[in-house]
Structure 1
Amino acid sequence: MRSLPPLEAPVDPVEALRRVGFLLERSRQHSRRVEAFRGAVGVVRDLGEGELAQRVEDGRLTELAGIGKSTAGVIEQAVRGDLPDYLARQQEEHGGPLVEGGEDYTAAIIGDCHLHSDWSDGGSPIEEMVLTAVELGQEWMVLTDHSPRLRIANGLSAARLTQQLDLLERINASVGDAFTLMSGIEVDILDDGTLDQSEEMLGRLDLVTASVHSKLRMAKGAMTRRMVAAVSNPRVNVLGHCTGRLVTGGRGTRPQSEFDARAVFEACAEHDVAVEINSRPERRDPPDELIELALEIGCLFAVDSDAHAPGQLEMKAYGAQRAERLGVPLERIVTTWDAERVREWARRA
């Protein structure tokens, strides 16, 4: 994975708006600001080139629904051949490296086992997530929208997941051989360790990331049994954000769940399940000492973005820096493997 180089004039207005949205997401700006620029992309794409130029000339851009003062300014300057001032400021303020260190590991990470689209609680269409991943130099990703019982995140029923699988086939056909979009799910681990999706549907997916999202304060023994049961399921490939902690951010903080980490990670190693290094800054999950324990036990790892927007795909740099600092061998990080190797590893049921 690489960082995007700064845009220079002349720049297409759609690309200018996309890059502003990306940089706002990358720097975790308010979602309403992001939505304004992402929404303006669709408005501009629906206009003919002649109509766009005429509206710029007449000063009538803001008459269009979804175009405000800031987005109109970006469009006007781009149409006139200039680098938009708003874009230039965002590139100056938020275009640098996300984190110091981990550059070699970041470059080696070519995939992602955990990300979301607007089919569940993500903010962008699948196609935009794929396009941005290609621009970042990724070779593959697994779409892992949420499972049904996580209603707050618009989890996918079996019927909606079936529809999504059909769309993924069409997207893969359109991108060709340079990129692979794999089918997946972030399946909720239920109280008894079973999975929140049918066996038949899980069997149709390339890869399954399983995570606990409810009753995070469950007693230690019960939580241990719950997680061990889940990672022992032959359909599970990755254990997502295992402690559930939040260390910063708009949602506040949350203590980590209590469980016998050695028992859980030994089960992961036994069943060839990767322990996720969740790269979101508000999670940083697992904490360092648990990564070191999983490393000692012999686990595989997946450095994932848990992206809910295109600009968050680059957050894997945070996880890569931690993995390098803690001495996790690149060979044990499945997100450095090529797509075919990942598919073969995940196809164990």
Structure 2
Amino acid sequence: MVATVEPLAAPVEPDEALRRIAFLLERERAGSYRVEAFRKAVVTVRETPEQELLSRHQAGTLQDLAGIGKSTAAVVSEALDGELPAYLGSLQEKAKPLAVGGADLFALLKGDCHTHSNWSDGGSPIDEMVLTAVELGHEWLVLTDHSPQLRVANGLTAERLTKQLSIVDAINGSLGGQFRLLKGIEVDILDDGSLDQTDAVLARLDLVTASVHSKLRMNSAPMTKRMVAAVSNPRVNVLGHCTGRLVEGSRGTRPQSEFDARAVFEACAEHDTAVEINSRPERHDPPDELIRLAMDVGCLFAIDSDAHAPGQLEMKAYGCARAERLGIDPDRIVTTWDVARLLDWAAGSSR
């Protein structure tokens, strides 16, 4: 069951106070510079012997440590004094449910099919994404860093992806079966509908989310052909943010791509490919009328966070509010399934 994290109370370790502040800032989509300051401070605090932290706190020299500034030093000092850091307390008091409605469906979620780490354009290492997912009550998480064509997002070559898979194995080996990190990718749908990774590499993955990231203004007919080809590919399990639109945020707005949605969703239903309900507020993708069409056609759905930072994993609350309002049967949402059922479905889609 996915849930919100409980507020921290004093006493709290300095690194945990810094982690939680970063999480809450990410949750509210604060600027990356502010978040990075606290994430870097976590690393510094963990690498500094406890006695040195105490000595520097008493001497007022915490800011002499690399990665520790005025704000982060204050958090560390207050935590070392056994207090709840004031900034953390303020953020916790201000934290409200992300969405109105959808709480019952949110509680049914068990995982997420679309997440990113700092191996591509995410802000945190894989282990931090996993730790936060565990804290939020996830049972599984699919790691879906970008594929090679999306160079601006540091997309993974086959070689880098292969190296990442070995790290996923190591992480799973350390978790004792209490949580499962699944091997995945957000693979680009190329202009002709083919995928931006070799079939041999895709065959090694547990789940594949496929998305259009280029030539979003392609004419309707070729865009439809492109998307139908992709969702019909036996290696594809989830169609990510299908319209490509942006409705708010720092990147501005972008109109949705033009395509025959019925034809695309019928292909999804035929090939057992789930339609993603992308929960990022700036995407809100697909719009309600397309979700209703996908429901009518008989599609499965995946409520995903598209998280690029640990604190964004909770964004699935937005997708849950929409899905519950539109009346989607929870059993049609693959992110409510346990890992065994999910893997059986994904493997069936690739035969």
For Structure 1 versus Structure 2, the TM-score category normalised by the shorter chain is over 0.9
Please name the residue that 1:54 is paired with: 55
Please name the residue that 2:25 is paired with: 24
C-alpha RMSD over aligned residues: 0.5
Quote how far apart the aligned CAs of 1:85 are: 0.6
Please name the residue that 1:188 is paired with: 188
Quote how far apart the aligned CAs of 1:297 are: 0.5
How do 1:69-84 and structure 2 match up within 5 A?
A: 69-84=70-85
C-alpha distance in 2 between matches for 1:84 and 1:26 = 19
C-alpha distance in 1 between matches for 2:237 and 2:82 = 48
How do 1:230-269 and structure 2 match up within 5 A?
A: 230-269=230-269
C-alpha distance in 1 between matches for 2:242 and 2:140 = 23
Compute the TM-score of the two structures, normalised by the length of structure 2.
Answer: 0.99
Quote how far apart the aligned CAs of 1:49 are: 1.1
C-alpha distance in 2 between matches for 1:19 and 1:315 = 16
C-alpha distance in 2 between matches for 1:84 and 1:200 = 50
Name segments (4+ residues, structure 1) moved above 4 Å.
Answer: none
Code of the aligned partner of 1:162: T
Tell me, yes or no, if structure 1 residue 97 matches structure 2 residue 97.
Answer: yes
Please name the residue that 2:302 is paired with: 302
Cα displacement string for residues 179-229 of structure 1 (whole angstroms, at most 9, x for unaligned residues): 100000000000000000001000000000000000000000000000000
Quote how far apart the aligned CAs of 1:177 are: 1.3
Quote how far apart the aligned CAs of 1:308 are: 0.1
C-alpha distance in 2 between matches for 1:228 and 1:139 = 31
Compute the TM-score of the two structures, normalised by the length of structure 1.
Answer: 0.99
For these two proteins, the number of residue pairs brought into alignment is: 348
Please name the residue that 2:329 is paired with: 329
Quote how far apart the aligned CAs of 1:96 are: 1.8
How do 1:48-197 and structure 2 match up within 5 A?
A: 48-93=49-94, 95-197=95-197
C-alpha distance in 1 between matches for 2:157 and 2:325 = 40
C-alpha distance in 1 between matches for 2:338 and 2:55 = 47
Please name the residue that 1:316 is paired with: 316
Quote how far apart the aligned CAs of 1:4 are: 0.8
Please name the residue that 1:45 is paired with: 46
Please name the residue that 1:201 is paired with: 201
Cα displacement string for residues 245-284 of structure 1 (whole angstroms, at most 9, x for unaligned residues): 0000000000000000000000000000000000000000
Quote how far apart the aligned CAs of 1:232 are: 0.6
C-alpha distance in 1 between matches for 2:304 and 2:87 = 30
Code of the aligned partner of 2:288: D
Q: Percent identity?
A: 69
C-alpha distance in 2 between matches for 1:246 and 1:105 = 25
Code of the aligned partner of 1:291: I
Cα displacement string for residues 36-60 of structure 1 (whole angstroms, at most 9, x for unaligned residues): 0000000000011111111111111
Three-state SS of the structure 1 residue aligned to 2:321 is helix
Three-state SS of the structure 1 residue aligned to 2:114 is coil
Three-state SS of the structure 1 residue aligned to 2:275 is strand
> Structure 1 unaligned runs (5+)?
none
Three-state SS of the structure 2 residue aligned to 1:141 is strand
C-alpha distance in 2 between matches for 1:178 and 1:302 = 22
Please name the residue that 2:274 is paired with: 274
Quote how far apart the aligned CAs of 1:319 are: 0.2
Code of the aligned partner of 1:178: Q
Please name the residue that 2:4 is paired with: 3
C-alpha distance in 2 between matches for 1:339 and 1:110 = 8
C-alpha distance in 1 between matches for 2:175 and 2:314 = 20
Quote how far apart the aligned CAs of 1:5 are: 1.0
Code of the aligned partner of 1:199: D
> Structure 2 unaligned runs (5+)?
none
Code of the aligned partner of 1:137: G
C-alpha distance in 1 between matches for 2:116 and 2:46 = 24
Quote how far apart the aligned CAs of 1:80 are: 0.6
C-alpha distance in 2 between matches for 1:63 and 1:306 = 37
Three-state SS of the structure 1 residue aligned to 2:148 is coil
Code of the aligned partner of 2:214: S
C-alpha distance in 2 between matches for 1:36 and 1:85 = 17
Code of the aligned partner of 2:188: D
C-alpha distance in 1 between matches for 2:160 and 2:105 = 36
Quote how far apart the aligned CAs of 1:26 are: 0.2
